[in-house]
Amino acid sequence: MEQPQMLLIDTRFSPKSRWAEWREGALREKYGTRYRTAGAYLGNVNFQGGPIQIADLEEGLRGLHLYLNEGHALILLCQCADYSSCHRNVIVDHLVERTTVEVIQPGLMGRTFETVMGLSIQQPYAQWLANPGQFMNASIRPKTIENRTWTTRYRGPLLIHASTTFDHDAIDYWIGRCPELEHVIPLHEQAYAKGAFVGIADLIEVVHQSPDPWFIGPYGFVLANARPLEPIPYRGQLKVFPVPNSLIHTQLPTMDAVAVKGA
């Protein structure tokens, strides 16, 4: 968000959220005039369920064209965990049909690093971290913090590796704290892959205190943009460890695409 010509376009039909940092006021305060609401035109009327229906697609696309013609790069914002099933996908498809734009996928797309870092995490936590959409779809705060007794200076893409061990107390403990989880997460150990990469995310921060209910400490690795991968068998290592980028290259095209700019 450091580029002066980049705009954050909020495409949510209702720019409200259970989490304060996602609310319209907080985003407007953080990004100022770079933040624009477009839910009245580009929002999904059926955001609570049902087929995607864009409020006023024609008017919304006209607005995006105007921004693009003024030289702005655009980031289309929504809270959906999966871009492929999000209404932004529909918006971008129609935009591409009508004008020449470059669609940019954040995360790992376009990176040429020979390695990406990984972190081995005990199940069931690895799978929970890799699948925030399951929690968000049930209106449950997703697990975005991995608790550690040590810290790291690394920031960037992070492969989520499921270790060969399983915390047999975890499911009962967290259902005790949040009974709704019983209807969201797999309840049996056999449903959790082990000894494999099961997801990828961005490690954006390490905190030593947090109001997040998933935080235990003493350090919390804060993850963003997490998404699942088909399990890739691999032997885990201690701490943050390098992994050949070629190992996951075939799965990278599934990453979210939310940014567009004039070509």
The answer to whether residue 259 scores a pLDDT higher than 80 is no
Mean pLDDT, residues 88-108: 75
Which of 17-21, 27-31, 159-163 is least confident?
Answer: 17-21
Q: Dihedral (C-alpha) 158, 217, 125, 137: value to the nearest 10 degrees?
A: -90
pLDDT tens-digit readout, 190-235: 999 999 999 999 898 899 999 999 999 899 999 988 999 999 999 9
- Residue 81's pLDDT is 57
Nearest to 234 by CA among 226, 224, 242: 242
pTM: 0.56
- Residue 120's pLDDT is 97
Nearest to 27 by CA among 39, 9, 43, 41: 9
Kindly list the domain boundaries of the chain, sorted by start residue: 6-99, 115-253
Q: How many Cα atoms sit within 13 Å of 142 on the Cβ side?
A: 22
- Answer whether CATH 2.30.130.30 is correct for domain 115-253: yes
| Cα–Cα distance measured from residue 200 to residue 130, given in angstroms and rounded to the nearest whole number | 7
Average predicted confidence (pLDDT) for the chain: 84
pLDDT tens-digit readout, 21-42: 778 888 888 888 889 999 999 9
